[in-house]
A and B are shown apart, each in its own frame.
Chain A
């Protein structure tokens, strides 16, 4: 395929993906808005007032970046795992596999779909947060880059999950038993400085901690960990996940006998 033909194939898959999640907006866009609204009301407004300050900021201000990023992580992951596994389960993925579209283009297009939903959900959640607090932005560049890189990473994670999944139960195992604990323990709701030295070191093994802190740095200018190291971690995982996804797309027995 020529580069132009590859671009057309890429755009076709992306348009299809975006159309899909916009068509079922009640399932893809509304639930994160409602759950985040509840987080803001319960943890931010009600409990947050009693907590006072966290790392020198109102608890609500501390909480907002983590909740936005948590919504982005879930949306991008869910989009790719749901869409790709659905196509695999219904065999419509064969439409793509028999075509000359290179595997790298298929992967990039699905990831773009996941990033698009992640960013859209992130914007919705950000809009909701404005009902509760005034957002101060320390660095728009850091915010944009972290949210995009994080969405890319978790879209790739969803893609890998979808390739390995054999049933719809397999699709929900990783989000429930891996993603949720890592997100909750990744500094969304608290600063790791509240933990003892040992648990601080344990927390630093969690890659989501670096993403949440880098994103919070974009809003507040504070972080529990080094910014450069955070970027390094995210990019490192993206490279690893991309290579693994491409390998699986080419050789996995889950797709090709």
Chain B
């Protein structure tokens, strides 16, 4: 199998003595849409920093499409497009200048750079804003600008460090659609995000880093299969003041018309329907609560809430 990214015993100890990575072995197959998750300070951004040469690794081996960064870092970097967590463009420049210059840094001639810039600024809905100062753009536009900049040289591996942070749901959904599209077109994507729903929707494989160590590296489906419980949300027709005794322990009344029930994967729902009918509780609709990955994540990193480390 060809890997877009492979790290072997990747270690990083910063100058202040903090060890951010403790021998991480990561393998992301070519064409994958891979989620790299972990609490704040777990080491995700350090991995990305090493790939972008912004962080110097202490030891270990990193290969990008089989190219060892110690042997030929420029070639390895030519495969990469990186969208960092923080805005890192010159706010006095325009989107056109920022994206076209980035193409130049990859050795793309000026006329090709201009057509590539137009292509990606258009795809990300920024072509109309091409001559405005980047600092004047909205938060969502700035994020999309960084994605356009990372894509202008058409990298084989796109790394996105929390690309939808602070972006409203409409733009987030449109960015998901865009990322799926370029992944289908062959670009391998590694995504870090705090929105676990995002990872669950987009990614096929997942790695979880905690305290500098990779504690899970598996398929999203395989990981979710580890869950024994499914949670369903029921919208009720009639108002309910308290839970029927028969549902105690397996259901929660969120508000007088919303009920959450936990059902073991091996059980069926008929028992619950019987109890609801017996208590004259009428259900208008039911949906699966999309918190499965979050639940697993909290279990795996052994803490709740995830960000309080």
Q: Could you list which residues of chain A lie within 8 angstroms of chain B, going by C-beta atoms?
A: 1-2, 4-6, 8-9, 11-13, 16, 87, 90-92, 94-102, 251, 253, 256-257
Contacts and interface: CB of A to CB of B under 8 A. Distances in A.
B105 A95 contact: yes
A9 B105 CA distance: 4
A188 B55 CA distance: 44
A100 B103 CA distance: 11
Contacts of B84: 94
A1 B74 contact: yes
22 contacts: A1-B74, A1-B107, A4-B107, A5-B106, A5-B107, A5-B108, A8-B108, A8-B109, A9-B104, A12-B104, A94-B84, A96-B105, A97-B54, A99-B102, A100-B74, A100-B106, A101-B74, A101-B106, A101-B107, A102-B74, A256-B56, A257-B15
Interface in B74-129: 74-75, 77-78, 80, 82, 84, 86-91, 97-98, 101-102, 104-110
Given A98-B53, A99-B102, A100-B106, 13 more contacts: A1-B74, A5-B106, A8-B107, A9-B105, A11-B104, A12-B105, A92-B90, A95-B88, A95-B89, A96-B105, A101-B106, A101-B107, A257-B49
Nearest to A91: B88
B54 A256 contact: yes
B149 interface: yes
A250 to B, nearest CB: 9
Contacts of B107: 1-2, 4-6, 8-9, 100-101
B100 to A, nearest CB: 8
Contacts of B140: none
Q: Give the size category of B's interface with A.
A: 20 to 34
Contacts of B41: none
A94 B54 contact: yes
B54 A90 contact: no
Given A98-B52, A98-B54, A257 B105 contact: no
A61 to B, nearest CB: 42
B55 A256 contact: yes
Interface in B37-76: 49, 52-56, 73-75
Given A97-B52, A97-B53, A251-B56, A92 B89 contact: yes
Contacts of B77: 98-100
B14 interface: yes
A101 B49 CA distance: 17
Contacts of A99: 77, 102, 105-106
A76 B14 CA distance: 35
Given A9-B106, A94-B52, A256-B56, A100 B101 contact: no
A2 B15 CA distance: 35
Nearest to B149: A95
